[in-house]
Structure 1
């Protein structure tokens, strides 16, 4: 569709000339002044309509380019913030934040999915974490040259390690009912979660830095082992997916070479 719009925009003058010539030939075959007036009116309306449509679409794509540029700038800003002002529980490694547009997704299935418009060409690899300005999204599982497939938190295999500062670790898991909330399991009984506590993602450094995942709404104790289970209201609205960021560790290639040494 975009190629069609670009083609029409590039050759609009030629197309308008063809329309004018066609209308002129048609007009000269008519001797009736009333018919001539109608044709003139129709010709003006047609030309104006075509030009207005082209301008509208050009404006749309121009605005889209502006949004893409803002996303890139925001990604650079986030990288600088994380690079110089890390939370105490975050590693000392810095990340690149690669902006990506969500081109397809679901949120009301048991195993939801997400597709991004970036892939191996941009350096995306399976295992990289995906976040938004609001919080944790999911993990890259497969890439092609220009696209990536994501397992979001809203998936039976999308659980992640999570942490409430000062209260230890747990596992954040979505049970498949409400896309707005998840369960935090295995919080030590000595540290009961409280309503309003912030829950952060806690993954390997190669995946992503800790980011907000949600806020605790309530908590109950597991009668079997007395650990705590907390209901967490997710910080990201999974029903409204537009732009996200793929996290890439600066030293990832060095880590890969250590994990897979050349023999």
Structure 2
């Protein structure tokens, strides 16, 4: 049995490629947009289910490491407004955090992805933020009943607004190479970033709280517009993803009423 599991894990990419090819062939034969959308949803769920099975067996062989990681994360989150959680999640009390096991992820591509085993049935919706106990990870872009697809910072469309406290706003972007590093751009010239400065996500309230994203290591000033560009060590470990927390605003109805007033 173990040999079979190891075989499936080793060749999971090939098996998934076959699934994607079959889906592509079916899509080509179905020109009806409604049918195509339905097929996309089914395909996403099927692929996620396969990945979930493989991920579950792989994680079975390293339960000790996973349990240790969960213990650290739960300790940080349960501390509420104290200690680690206070720095990571300044507006912690305004959100519920939905735990979700990572089914599959990548970190060495130009456009990386994360799939989690939690979806619509667990209360997850597109647009919600995703994070670990160490900091910001990305945003949910697609959901099925029990799975969700997340675009991380390590993606060409994963840029987020970011801020250094008391030094203004900028944009955090990945350069497509090292998963441990990102670049913070467009910091105004009067707000020089310094090594050791904390960088926090700056997104819509409905996405998630302002969350630690990384730490400034160095910075240089652009000669043309005199804005600052900083090299940032990302706080999340994108090479080791087991569990994520999805942020869900508790009072989203009140926020919606402010953003979309009744006519």
Q: What TM-score do you get using the length of structure 2 for normalisation?
A: 0.68
Structure 2 partner of 1:37: none
Equivalences for residues 107-146 of structure 1 within 5 A = 107-146=107-146
Structure 1 residue 205, shift from structure 2 partner: 1.2
Structure 1 partner of 2:214: 214
1:104 aligns with 2:104: yes
Check conservation: 2:81, 2:92, Cα contact below 8 A: no
Check conservation: 2:102, 2:117, Cα contact below 8 A: yes
Check conservation: 1:180, 1:237, Cα contact below 8 A: yes
Check conservation: 1:78, 1:97, Cα contact below 8 A: no
Q: How many residues align?
A: 205
d(CA) in 2 for partners of 1:86, 1:109: 33
d(CA) in 1 for partners of 2:92, 2:143: 27
d(CA) in 1 for partners of 2:91, 2:101: 27
After superposition, the Cα gap between the structure-2 partners of 1:86 and 1:133, relative to the gap in structure 1 and judged at 3 Å, is closer
Equivalences for residues 20-31 of structure 1 within 5 A = none
Runs of at least 5 residues in structure 2 that lack an aligned partner in the other structure: 2-56
1:243 aligns with 2:243: yes
d(CA) in 1 for partners of 2:86, 2:208: 13
Check conservation: 2:92, 2:209, Cα contact below 8 A: no
Structure 2 partner of 1:81: 80
SS in 2 for 1:81: coil
Structure 1 residue 78, shift from structure 2 partner: 2.4
After superposition, the Cα gap between the structure-2 partners of 1:91 and 1:100, relative to the gap in structure 1 and judged at 3 Å, is closer
SS in 2 for 1:100: strand
Q: What TM-score do you get using the length of structure 1 for normalisation?
A: 0.68
d(CA) in 2 for partners of 1:130, 1:254: 22
Equivalences for residues 39-188 of structure 1 within 5 A = 67=67, 74=74, 78=77, 81-82=80-81, 90=90, 94-188=94-188
Higher Cα Rg, which structure: 1
d(CA) in 2 for partners of 1:125, 1:80: 26
Check conservation: 1:129, 1:139, Cα contact below 8 A: yes
Check conservation: 1:160, 1:201, Cα contact below 8 A: yes
SS in 2 for 1:102: strand
Post-superposition Cα deviations, 1:214-263, rounded to whole Å, max 9, x if no partner, equal 11111111122100000001111101110110000101244345556788
Please give the root-mean-square deviation of Cα atoms over the aligned residues, in Å. Answer: 3.5
